[in-house]
Amino acid sequence: MSDLPLVLILTLFLSLLYAFTNGARDSGNAIATLVSERIVSPRMAVLICAAMNLLGALLGTAVALTVAKGLIHIHVIADCQMLALSALTGAILWHGVTRFLNLPSSSFHGLIGGLGGAAVAAGGWQALQYETICRKVLLPIIFTPVGGFVLSFLLTAVLVRLTLPMHPRVGDYLFQKLQLFSSAFMALSHGMNDAQKAAGVIILALFSFDRIPLGEISFWVRVACALAMALGTIYGGLRIIRNRRYKVFELQSLHGFVSGLSSAIVTLCFSLAGAPISTTHVFASTIVGAGSSKRLSGVRWGIARSIIVVWILTIPAAALMGALVFHLLKMI
């Protein structure tokens, strides 16, 4: 460690801190239904989420490669050792602002905004790889919530019809048990996507300091990010579980199962395609989809709209912070 530059050490630390805070803030989505339905204890729910996140983070590298070399041109990365540090600082600052205001912003949107702002500050608008950004960032931002909503809406409608002959208590018991599977599956897919974002930033930073080739994803990086996210989940997951989902729609066991399964399917598909996405974005859309299938009036659309507004603001706000941090670091 003694031969590592201070900027690289800070970048590694902030990358792991990003994974940790992501676990504390977002991973609770995966097992919210388990706690709300009292299927398992809060402690057991968090441990399940942490373990599955850890496993998912070790499966695949497609998302990490997209973050590391698919968003910013290589010559900009190679010539700017402050890039990753500025991006992370901007993302974490915005995360802190939304945390202070108790707003449900996406940590991924913050990271993308921070990376984009720092890259433009370093190399101008030509620093960005617009084709990849459009295909693997902007289009998924649109299609993941739409896909989550539609899939959750349709699955709920089908399952409600199929379970009509059942006694309500039998159906409730069945879907409570199934939620153990859907929540674990969702946590696994979450780890495949979110932990790899932090790994991608670390790879980007190591490349800028000539420590590794850009396409190499070291196993220790994946393990470190996985452990950081798992520890973050254990530390802060319970508070997030209690906060987010009740405000949008009061879910029954069937809706909880469908929202978890739909989120897992959407997240897994985009993870395999190498597209970093907002798992919070996906989860919220599946809850709204499940609630809308029951009755549109049951969804608290005012709160849903406020969440969407914050999501829209996150990328430009984090980009501005990333750019400002980059210029400040250059002055030091």
C-beta neighbour count of 94 within 10 angstroms: 26
Residue 197: its pLDDT value, please?
92
Tokens linked to 235: 């530390």
Tokens linked to 219: 């196993």
- pTM, rounded to two decimals: 0.85
Tokens linked to 176: 């409570």
Tokens linked to 261: 């399964």
Distances in Å between the Cα of 300 and the Cα atoms of 132, 292, 297 are 35, 10, 7
Tokens linked to 71: 């968003």
**Confidence at 15, pLDDT banded by 50, 70, 90:** very high
**What pLDDT digit, counting tens, does each position of 280-290 carry?**
888 888 888 88
Q: Are 31 and 47 in contact (CB under 8 A)?
A: no
Residue 306: its pLDDT value, please?
65
C-alpha to C-alpha distance for 140 and 279, rounded to whole angstroms: 11
C-alpha to C-alpha distance for 268 and 270, rounded to whole angstroms: 6
* pLDDT (average), residues 233-242: 68
With a cut of 80, say whether residue 53 has pLDDT above it. Answer: yes
C-alpha to C-alpha distance for 75 and 7, rounded to whole angstroms: 19
Phi-psi region of 184 (alpha: psi -120 to 50; beta: other; left: phi over 0): alpha
Query: Would you state the torsion angle of the CA atoms of residues 152, 19, 50, 100, taken in this order, to the nearest 10 degrees?
Result: -70
Sequence-ordered list of residues with C-beta below 8 angstroms from that of 96, at least 6 positions apart, any chain: none
**Confidence at 321, pLDDT banded by 50, 70, 90:** very high
* pLDDT (average), residues 297-304: 58
Residue 116: its pLDDT value, please?
93
C-alpha to C-alpha distance for 301 and 280, rounded to whole angstroms: 17
Q: Are 191 and 105 in contact (CB under 8 A)?
A: no
CA atoms within 13 A on the CB side of 274: 15
With a cut of 90, say whether residue 303 has pLDDT above it. Answer: no
In DSSP notation, 48-107 reads HHHHHHHHHHTS--HHHHHHHHSSB-HHHHHH-TTHHHHHHHHHHHHHHHHHHTT----H
Strand partners, 326: none
**What pLDDT digit, counting tens, does each position of 29-38 carry?**
666 667 766 7
Distances in Å between the Cα of 91 and the Cα atoms of 11, 18, 56, 138, 323 are 13, 9, 23, 18, 11
